[in-house]
Amino acid sequence: MEGGADVWQHETIPMPLRVQIARAISSATKGIGSEDTRARAFKFAVDALRDDAGRNELVRNNYGYTYEQEFKEFVEGVADTDQLLDAIEYWIDACRKSVRGQTYGGSLSSVSNIIPILNSRFKEAGVGYQIEDGQVIKVSDKLLHQEAVTPALRILASAKYDSANSEFRIAFESFKSGHYEDCLVGCCKALESVLKVIGGLQGWGLDGTEPLATLITKSIDKELIPKYMLAQFTGLRSSLGAVGTIRNKDGGHGAGEVERNVPEHLAAYQLHLTASAIVFLEACARS
């Protein structure tokens, strides 16, 4: 099932993939619990999509439709790619809410099991999105996503990194939506939060207001990053600092009279650089 194009596109979701998504969602929802639980999940998802669209119905002539039928037709027919991706996220969240609201017998295992299949379908179709912990993430590079982004998100799933996790996911959402300056800001905030958590646990004496440059200097002074590694990797300090540097130059400050246009490739680089830094710093903290 793996494979797909070497270069992923993000503009359109082809009809075969839409059908595969709709069928996979229908199949997975059957496993979450009772008929009422399944119906409640689709109602949650459809209501959220209706609210977003400001409409009383997602598809025309839906008289007699169940919420599941309306959801299916929306996934297969909506023209806007972002709305289709939102539908996937709303469905996952709706399943979680429905199972929590069930008094007995509910399970999310079928939802968890279908996520890798959906991710493989995206890859096969050459469409650059992957689902990570209920969020659809825009992927620009397969290898970097696998080797840096996915491990970073696993690290941030720890409760101690709640703030950093939220900030990094906002950065991905901004990237997916084309708000690249906000993406830069989110990346910087996430890395700052990771260093503050590590510094707090290791007793660096932080007051919580330190900027990224100060936190990187502290991490070196406190030998989070061993000095022998700095001798071997002379560019390490610059690489970590680059996250803050890019943010300072291209995002996070007033634009003044000239409107900035942060390019997509710069935001993608920032995301991958931040993910790699998070993985590296967590490894240093554990060693």
Q: What does the pLDDT average to over 191-213? A: 92
Residue 238: its pLDDT value, please? 56
Cα separations in angstroms, 98 against 21, 101, 105, 220? 20, 5, 12, 47
Instruction: For residues 175 and 272, state if they share a domain.
Output: yes
Instruction: For residues 61 and 181, state if they share a domain.
Output: no
Task: Establish if 26 belongs to a structural domain.
Answer: yes
Residue 232: its pLDDT value, please? 47
DSSP category for residue 12:
-
Q: For residue 243, what is the domain's CATH number?
A: 1.20.120
Residue 1 reports pLDDT greater than 70:
no
Instruction: For residues 73 and 178, state if they share a domain.
Output: no
Rounded to a whole number of angstroms, the distance between the first and last alpha carbons of the chain is 37
Among 139, 168, 184, give the residue marking a domain's end: 139
Instruction: For residues 46 and 89, state if they share a domain.
Output: yes
Instruction: For residues 159 and 254, state if they share a domain.
Output: yes
Higher pLDDT, 17 or 260: 17
- Tens of pLDDT, residue by residue over 3-37, are 555 567 888 999 999 999 999 999 999 999 889 99
Among 90, 120, 139, give the residue marking a domain's end: 139
Residue 185: its pLDDT value, please? 86
Answer whether 156's CB lies under 8 Å from 132's CB: no
Q: Which residue has the tokens 């720890």?
A: 158
Residue 152: its pLDDT value, please? 94
How many CB atoms within 10 Å of residue 273?
A: 19
Q: Which residue segment(s) compose the domain that 104 sits in?
A: 15-139
Task: Establish if 3 belongs to a structural domain.
Answer: no
* Burial classification of residue 225, based on how many CB atoms lie within 10 Å of its CB (0-12 exposed, 13-18 middle, 19 or more buried): buried
Among 85, 116, 139, give the residue marking a domain's end: 139
Answer whether 8's CB lies under 8 Å from 126's CB: yes
Residue 248: its pLDDT value, please? 55
Instruction: For residues 158 and 82, state if they share a domain.
Output: no
Answer whether 36's CB lies under 8 Å from 78's CB: no
- Tens of pLDDT, residue by residue over 159-175, are 999 999 999 999 998 98
Residue 88: its pLDDT value, please? 97
| Element housing 138 (H / E) | strand 135-138
Instruction: For residues 83 and 165, state if they share a domain.
Output: no
- Tens of pLDDT, residue by residue over 245-258, are 555 555 544 444 44
Domain count across the chain: 2
Instruction: For residues 19 and 132, state if they share a domain.
Output: yes
Q: What does the pLDDT average to over 139-149? A: 80
Task: Establish if 144 belongs to a structural domain.
Answer: no
Task: Establish if 215 belongs to a structural domain.
Answer: yes
Task: Establish if 178 belongs to a structural domain.
Answer: yes
